[in-house]
Structure 1
């Protein structure tokens, strides 16, 4: 096994585990590949993520994993299932805040080694046909506003990939075969957006 100078942990839900796409298409794995091409000696991420998880379910899974490692870089992308299940932004704020502290602990207490990706808009997916897409978009915006505020409080990087996800509307190549989750092609765009921000974090 090749040992790399820098390590990476990616926390999340279906968008991080890459539901319905090959492992190599996951956005965080594509990001690690792009970083290596830029000369950053970083390993592919450890991933704690599962389709359907909300903030509290991710936190419970992290505890159950008993992962005691410290990482050079930690990502957090969570909240779409909170929105999908009709939970409130207030509940999300409390649980997201706790998760962000957990992510910072994994980064050895360094908030500037953690970055957050915004929640993408599943309302543009073929799966959402016939649903109230404006309502979905408004709710996702509300959850993302919470995450952005919490990130700013701790001076943690926040990368807004939601507009990019919305541009996927009507383009079947941007979606996985299940019609709900995004494809590796869309995840590539997220990785490319994250790349310059993450390079700066790792250079600190």
Structure 2
């Protein structure tokens, strides 16, 4: 008889590898590595009895879509993964890059993510871009907060369209990111990025879709 305190074994003997692609939101800028959403997701999936390897993260603060793709090519990974997440685009918006360029490069990254998942569409999960404009940094940046939000919405419209067009999972974390305007415990110490509490909320939003596939 199983110990009720022990999570049930799911897919025993099968270790699930995880690749997280992105930028500062993926690495959890200003947070200990164990508090970023890929690490929290891994820990949460393990409580469900899933044997998930530590995430392989390709992400750096400041990266745009083109910089992420260049870094992926430089890594020259040949491994296939059972779980791939992608969250990218805020720096395209921040730098004023075009929506046309973003669509092209994001589509290429979706295909890259799908290739890493060995062509399995069920194992790729895309997250929307959070809205940095409502953070304390955004409020003091001298840029119009409503305009930032509108631009973030435009970029998210593209990544959602392209994600769904390929039949991939899309998780909208943007509305939750806007709660930082009234909840400073959701903001990291730098006033721009997000706290472990917010990363945990992203995991709560993403996990049901992942569990549906991997359980």
TM tier relative to shorter chain = over 0.9
Q: Is 1:98 matched with 2:141? A: no
1:1-204, aligned counterparts within 5 Å? 5-130=15-140, 131-203=143-215
Structure 2 residue runs of 5 or longer lacking an equivalent are 1-12
Structure-1 separation of matches of 2:36 and 2:17: 17
Shift, 1:88, TM fit? 1.4
Question: What TM-score, normalized by structure 2, do the two folds share?
Answer: 0.91
Q: What is the CA–CA distance in structure 2 between the aligned matches of 1:128 and 1:190, rounded to whole Å? A: 20
- C-alpha deviation, 1:201, in angstroms: 2.3
Retained in 2: the 8 A contact 1:123–1:133? yes
Q: State the shift of 1:41 in Å.
A: 1.4
Q: Larger deviation: 112-121 or 31-40?
A: 31-40
Greater Cα radius of gyration, structure 1 or 2: 2
Deviations 1:170-200 (A, max 9, x none): 3221111111000111000001110101111
Distance 1:28 1:192 in 2: 12
- Cα distance, 1:4 vs structure 2: 6.1
Distance in structure 2 (CA, Å) of the matches to 1:152 and 1:74 = 16
List structure 1 runs of 4+ shifted beyond 3 angstroms. none
Q: Distance in 2 between matches of 1:170 and 1:196?
A: 27
Alpha carbons 1:4, 1:43 under 8 Å: kept: no
TM-score (norm 1): 0.96
Unaligned runs of 5+ residues in structure 1 are none
Give, in whole Å, the separation in 2 of the partners of 1:89 and 1:44. Answer: 34
How many residues align structurally? 201
Q: Distance in 2 between matches of 1:8 and 1:197?
A: 15
